[in-house]
Amino acid sequence: MEVSTLPCLLLVSVALALCCAAAAAARPESATANLDAATMAAQELDRVASLPGAPSYSYAFNHYSGYVTTDEQLGKALFYWFFEAMEKPDEKPLVLWLNGENFVGERWFGQAQELGPFLVKKDVPELELNPCQPAFPGLSSGCWIFIHEHIFRNRSTGRQFHRWFQRFPQHKMKEFYIAGESYAGHYIPQLANIIVDENKKASRGNYINFKGILIGNAYMDGDTDLQGIVDSSWHHAIISDTLYATYLRSCNFSAEILSRECEVALGEFNVLHDLIDIYSLYAPNCERGYPDFNTSFSPQIGPTTSRFDLLRIPMGYDPCTQTYATEYLNREDVQRALHANTTGVPYPYSLCRDSINVLWHDSDKTVLPIVKKLAQEGLRIWIFSGDTDGRIPTTSTRYTLKKLGLPIKEDWSPWFSHKQVGGWSVVYDGLTFVTVRGAGHMVPTSRPEQALELLEHFLANRNLPSKPF
């Protein structure tokens, strides 16, 4: 999942217990030279010695999984899964990947279905290496972190990420980047803002060498994102002229409360989820079906429950990858190997749980002021968009970026992936926007080679190829 210029990987979730022990393999001397015995022991406890169904040759790289306590009194912890690069991991940058969605508990989505080094094989309870994704340790030039988004809903928890660096201090001073997709368009800028502000007053021991953010199909602004969904749906021939005219007549997405006529029109859009995958407009649905847990739900659009319901989790791209991954991650031997579920929760793991929706009602309508501030601070900011996504479509992102009012330095132009156009890009003063041609909401899943190329150039701070190669 990585290429020869990419980073290491970490997946983090909210949980309540500390990890159990794992068997250890020898670690390069350079990685441990300055670590104290307690830190080395904690890392060894979290090392994943073997993973059920994984190919035997996959352990040429180190990966770790477990819990890092963030609040002793409340019993809170972060669950993480961290992958080091295969070659010279101490010299590689660190990337934290955040999956999106505001109402679902998708701890494993990015690792198991998009960016992780392992994919679950179809119809076989085994894993295979994922050679086309940016987190593939054998090809990367860095280290990847996957983290669960809900830890950042309470803004103070952004500071708790320091606890992970205390577990792995050898990565503390690496170049650090945050990347993600969808609702990460909200909490990546929020977390980045916390880090930038805290760095201004941090001691050397608490300073994070933070360099930039990369967000795909990003939900950043409620008004423009909703308007873009409607306009894109009409342009892609999903909704009728009559329904589109109703939207234009009755929907003011800047209003705090939408009109009843607008809500009814949005409700008509929801039925499309019985017919197509709105997250990848030209991909088929999974004929095998999706995991059926009583706490799962199907996505909705519109403000009937919340104006952010449109951002609920997609049903997968393979289009059955969610089904494969869910079945695999519910195996007890897999959870033991990952030092997960140490408290023995009585219900099965599910990608989507709407119980979070019941407990959380705090979401900023827009993060554009934060994005503009980060651009002024000189942070590297790239926004990318799969252009066949109907949930946060390219149209929405273009409306949103126009709202920022940033001057254009390099106007709309194609970029290339080998001999083919990979998409289009525009460079603003302080921000780069890139489309990925033919990609859905989860770009690394639907266009892995282009996603890898995009990530490589982002980390290297180089423009994408402007000519075929």
Active site residue 429: no
Active site residue 46: no
Q: Which residue has the tokens 């494969």?
A: 324
Q: Are 265 and 250 in contact (CB under 8 A)?
A: yes
| Long-range residue pairs from 229-234, CB within 8 A, at least 24 positions apart, any chain | 229/301, 229/310, 229/390, 229/391, 229/392, 229/393, 229/395, 229/396, 231/395, 232/390, 232/393, 232/394, 232/395, 232/396, 233/269, 233/390
φ, ψ of residue 80 to 5 degrees: the values are: -130, 160
Q: Which residue has the tokens 């934290």?
A: 96
Q: Are 436 and 451 in contact (CB under 8 A)?
A: yes
The rounded distance, in Å, linking the Cα atoms of 410 and 426 is 6
Helix then strand count (H, E) for the chain reads 15, 14
Annotated catalytic residue, options 221, 223, 277, 389: 389
Strand partners, 79: 13, 67
The rounded distance, in Å, linking the Cα atoms of 312 and 352 is 8
The DSSP letter of residue 225 is: H
Annotated catalytic residue, options 141, 182, 232, 385: 182
Q: C-alpha angle with apex 177: 171 to 179, nearest 5 degrees?
A: 130
Coil, helix or strand at residue 245? helix
The rounded distance, in Å, linking the Cα atoms of 311 and 433 is 21
Coil, helix or strand at residue 176? strand
Active site residue 182: yes
Q: Are 222 and 366 in contact (CB under 8 A)?
A: yes
Token pair listed for 263: 């809500």
HSE-up of 338 (CA within 13 Å, CB side)?
Answer: 24
Q: Are 362 and 153 in contact (CB under 8 A)?
A: yes
With a CB cutoff of 8 Å and minimum separation 6, the contacts of 422 are 414, 415, 416, 436, 437, 450, 453, 454, 464, 465
Annotated catalytic residue, options 46, 441, 446, 457: 441
* Residues present in the chain in total: 469
Residues noted as catalytic:
182, 389, 441
